[in-house]
Structure 1
């Protein structure tokens, strides 16, 4: 095999590390982010205690019902699920008592996917499987970039499904990052590897579009037909830069002096679907792919540090070293290249010729999630999180209205509108929060919030920053606006039944007890929590909202956990909530990333009702193999299938000494997508 090294050294930092993640995850996914100081050094308060102002507004914000205007924009014909489309389901006030009727699983340590009694599952597609015509069969010992560009990529994170007919559809999958320690025998680091294998890694990033069909049993598999929609997006796929920052000096490079074209996308983690059926895929830990920050211009270094880009010391250590095959990843030579990553990318799965768009008006952060709702007057709101300790949550609201069936018009919606950042205020005295997670005297973690405008396509609302500067350096704009520091905001999802919006706050082991507040009530926060947002009047276009924390994760036997007031002796343990989705009944499904490090059990897919008599009754629905993270999840519009994506199985091992052999029981593990269904064709979960 090309690039095999005669000698290998052990991966550093054996065992679980910051935030419960494994050492290999910290190395390959985020470049040891938790081993550096948090990039947010602003003096924004951890908690704005504006108690009297909050109380006077709270009752007004709690009133209102889900707007009929959104319900009128049903999108079933597009094949996008109701939650993604932003249209509340019939009975939008959340009446009734939905309950999850499967038998919850006990914690698992099995090297397999485990599902409840009465359910079945299958592997839909795995790393290296053919995607494009002419793709060779996977050959682990003889990998090439040319082959990988036609094969299913590596770690699979966000999953979306676009229905084409009852038993046929398009599967979109993010390929977040690569585990070279599991991909290539003898791997040490990017400085030693054969350059051809660096190109393989670049080709294994990005995303895949795969046409799949449902079999008679209820599982899904790749179509054997023409597969005209199948596509691979990689780290070198040409893309357009759109919106107000396109063409700005901050985005111009030697290769692209116009600042409107870029090659590829990196570290795409979560995502969402638009009402018009396109995919929004989000670049997250892009900072770790660049070297040479110490040689970047001095005036650029403050912004680089705010985004976690190394600007001192050996910036090439433990790096994939893409710069060895493409010098644009060396910031000493091309300091603006990094500004061209960290965006929400729009892709049309039904148009193989659609050039992906990096939508700059949605801001540049470590994006986690970009999910939509329709406002009462027909505009599009996009909810986004910035996955970093002490960073912020964001919302974009389009200037123009969504037009059902007008693809040309809808292609412009994300390039004009307003970008907001959130400030949250609690309704209990600050002294009641000591980091222990104890409920305040009023019995709930709750309060009010406001969406602070940062800019439109024409005007900046941040002193001293142009529109382009706000969008390229969105974190700095959020600092100046006084946004609330949160505990790693990840996926955002709207509830199709109630219209409420939910954000997964994964964890923050760096939050000290004195930094705890009502919206982030534990310090340190090892297990994470769920934030629930109710927009004023239930209108996604509102600039004010109320919020509460219905789930504080961890071992339910511990006093610092909370499950919406439900009997904790009847709920499952959960840690590190990451990706979210909803079924048509309004039950929240939560996949995790970090349970092994904090709870000693495998990551899993959990489900919990979010309204009614059984609100807070959290159960475990599926568990994933050794060292794997449970990604996805996505529930089909007919509620008959849930897709999950166990990524990085066996991550703590090596090719020579694997810790997992899932799914093929061969010599090495393969990240894969799994479909789960009820054997009798019943709805998933209930």
Structure 2
């Protein structure tokens, strides 16, 4: 964005200061000395050190006007006195007026003074009056292994809620002030809080009890428990209404329904009908049963819900047996089947869920193609329960974290997609057709045709979107499966099924777990949360990761070794057009504790006296006062309010040992980078969602896996009902006690 109309530019003094800083960075950056920045000798002939990179970015930003110009000054650490020299009309006001909270490790929801929260829907709460709510007594006495529990769960709010998307009523263009539909994903289950497998907690890893054998044995002996488990995941669609400030479920609404691992869903787009999605249960390859590991999501301009299938590989076992059976085959289909699996590998033996005990389709050796029917974006109409949901294969198959849409300059719809795994990629899909605001029905299959791109981040702060298109990319047409002369792909369907491999071939940039990707509704800029990657190293190290070799060394877009706390990347599409094929990028935040004695608080990304950056080095979009910043780790979901402030929820270890929480930061103006904590969550939980009502008077959050280091009867949290109750994943709402916009 090279110009902001109606805003005053920098004055000459500030322009001169910006140029002086850029010149200084450039001169330092070329020094081949371990004590200066990222020495060129260590980065290769095609790379640039941070100083050179930031010098270019600073000069580019120095031409900005108004609010964007002030943000640029924040990046280079311009003083408060310099800020005062900018005309008042050029300074974007900070709309955040709440009193920030302190981080906490207490087992309670903490919100700012003047705010309230409530539980809107919690795990086991019934959507219909004919089904009772799940009780704590039932959880403790083994009821969850019965046929009645499985049947009930098809009408109850599922487990481990993640995405939350609000759709106003009576229609998608209403204001939604008092009524709407909420769509919520249910990602996975904490078996230790559901079933008595006889597993002993692992003291070194209490969150991840992986005694797979006992799970398979348990489900063989208790097949209804497996059916209950399948009903716990998927999606909930529910009507909610606002009463006296708080939102609550509308029981028996015509909109209320569950989509589970047993729900028929259609495959649509280029991969539908492919030989590789055909199974004994679906010989035409156009229908699949269920959706699993639904993580973040999104909505479309025409008012539909997009649900992202993420770690679906967990549900499939038997890959070692499949490799043994097909490993010596010379049949091209067998060779490609194994290769398609190796970039998203099923479990070698038993799956982590154990559901293959009662259904062969979760055994990759017995039904090799079943896993290819997962890992897609699911679209459903929250306003109409009649049509089946659809898996939109044009958007590619990988570990989707999100699906964020924005209408591009020419009317096409861009969908941003993160692949949530270490050293995986950022994608964007651009529709072939254009959004029809006057005819909702005309948009219903818009996501079946278009171009899927993958991102390459260059060291100079530029980037390209590379088309994952079989017809236009010679490299995809000529590629062969490693060690064979078998063509890697025969058509676009195979590119989309094995799109990770296609992205490898096209030279995409491996990122540090690219999770949620959101577009700022005010500026159009795009932000990607890279949650963490502890595998980043300071020296070149080739490692085998998900079916290919990757260099683990920290690089310019992922600058920290042992990146425990993650970072956020800001992307500006060329021409401010979200359908563009080139972009500019910069680091917006290096998360962590800005006041840590073990790291450096950077106010500009050339503030480096050794390379690469360390785990505890932090950067907050150029904000210069560390004393007012909270510690933050593992940014996961992102959201934006109507003022363009970014809301961040976290999932992972926090730098100072506090619980996960919710944070907010301006992305433009004089307080760009001034992060504040808004909410603290309960023990062992992650916070998901960050969804607002259209009027911004309610913030919806999902509290996922509370108390998950405990067991039935002895959980580590009693959220949300307190006392000695069992923990329940829960959708909550937060609002101002006296009304008004959240955060202001």
| TM-score of the aligned structures, taking structure 2 as reference length | 0.76
Match of 2:275 in 1: 249
Q: Give, in angstroms, the shift of residue 191 of structure 1.
A: 1.9
1:479 aligns with 2:504: yes
Is contact 2:269–2:449 with CA below 8 Å preserved after alignment?
A: yes
Is contact 2:177–2:693 with CA below 8 Å preserved after alignment?
A: no
Structure 1 unaligned regions, length at least 5: 1-44, 66-92, 428-446
- Shift of the 168–270 alpha-carbon distance from structure 1 to 2, 3 Å rule, reads same
- Shift of the 570–473 alpha-carbon distance from structure 1 to 2, 3 Å rule, reads same
Match of 1:36 in 2: none
1:301 aligns with 2:338: yes
Partners of 1:673 and 1:390 in 2: CA distance: 31
Paired residue secondary structure (1:214): strand
Partners of 2:264 and 2:90 in 1: CA distance: 44
Q: State which drifts further: 532-541 or 301-310.
A: 301-310
Is contact 1:643–1:674 with CA below 8 Å preserved after alignment?
A: yes
Paired residue secondary structure (1:513): coil
Is contact 2:475–2:505 with CA below 8 Å preserved after alignment?
A: no
- Shift of the 215–157 alpha-carbon distance from structure 1 to 2, 3 Å rule, reads same
1:106 aligns with 2:102: yes
Q: 1:615-634, CA deviations, whole angstroms, 9 ceiling, x for partnerless residues?
A: 11101101111001011111
Q: Give, in angstroms, the shift of residue 131 of structure 1.
A: 1.3
Match of 1:372 in 2: 405
1:130 aligns with 2:156: no
Partners of 1:137 and 1:214 in 2: CA distance: 21
1:521 aligns with 2:559: yes
Q: State which drifts further: 168-177 or 564-573.
A: 564-573
1:118 aligns with 2:145: no
Partners of 2:297 and 2:576 in 1: CA distance: 23
Partners of 2:46 and 2:216 in 1: CA distance: 50
1:413 aligns with 2:441: no
Match of 2:74 in 1: none
- Shift of the 191–394 alpha-carbon distance from structure 1 to 2, 3 Å rule, reads same
Match of 1:329 in 2: 362
Q: CA RMSD in A?
A: 2.5
Partners of 1:250 and 1:56 in 2: CA distance: 49
Is contact 1:170–1:211 with CA below 8 Å preserved after alignment?
A: yes
Match of 1:624 in 2: 681
Pick from 187, 201, 208 the counterpart of residue 176 of structure 1.
187
- Shift of the 124–512 alpha-carbon distance from structure 1 to 2, 3 Å rule, reads same
Match of 1:506 in 2: 531
Q: Give, in angstroms, the shift of residue 95 of structure 1.
A: 6.8
Partners of 1:46 and 1:333 in 2: CA distance: 47
Q: Give, in angstroms, the shift of residue 459 of structure 1.
A: 7.9
Structure 2 unaligned regions, length at least 5: 1-41, 66-88, 170-175, 200-213, 328-334, 480-488, 540-552, 601-616
Match of 1:448 in 2: 462
Match of 1:636 in 2: 693
The structure with more radius of gyration: 2
Pick from 671, 681, 684 the counterpart of residue 729 of structure 2.
671
Partners of 2:45 and 2:264 in 1: CA distance: 44
Q: 1:69-125, CA deviations, whole angstroms, 9 ceiling, x for partnerless residues?
A: xxxxxxxxxxxxxxxxxxxxxxxx997222421111111111111101110000001
Partners of 1:62 and 1:334 in 2: CA distance: 58
| TM-score of the aligned structures, taking structure 1 as reference length | 0.82
Q: 1:301-326, CA deviations, whole angstroms, 9 ceiling, x for partnerless residues?
A: 33323113234xxx116x21111221
Matches within 5 A, 1:266-277: 266-277=292-303
Q: 1:270-329, CA deviations, whole angstroms, 9 ceiling, x for partnerless residues?
A: 111100010110000000110111122332333323113234xxx116x21111221100
**Count of paired positions:** 590
Match of 2:384 in 1: 351
Is contact 1:562–1:568 with CA below 8 Å preserved after alignment?
A: no
Q: Give, in angstroms, the shift of residue 354 of structure 1.
A: 2.2
Paired residue secondary structure (1:184): coil
Partners of 1:272 and 1:351 in 2: CA distance: 17
Partners of 2:196 and 2:657 in 1: CA distance: 29
Match of 1:578 in 2: 636
Pick from 490, 493, 496 the counterpart of residue 515 of structure 2.
490
Match of 1:150 in 2: 155
Q: Give, in angstroms, the shift of residue 406 of structure 1.
A: 2.1
Match of 1:160 in 2: 165
1:363 aligns with 2:396: yes
Pick from 593, 599, 616 the counterpart of residue 656 of structure 2.
599
Q: Give, in angstroms, the shift of residue 54 of structure 1.
A: 9.3
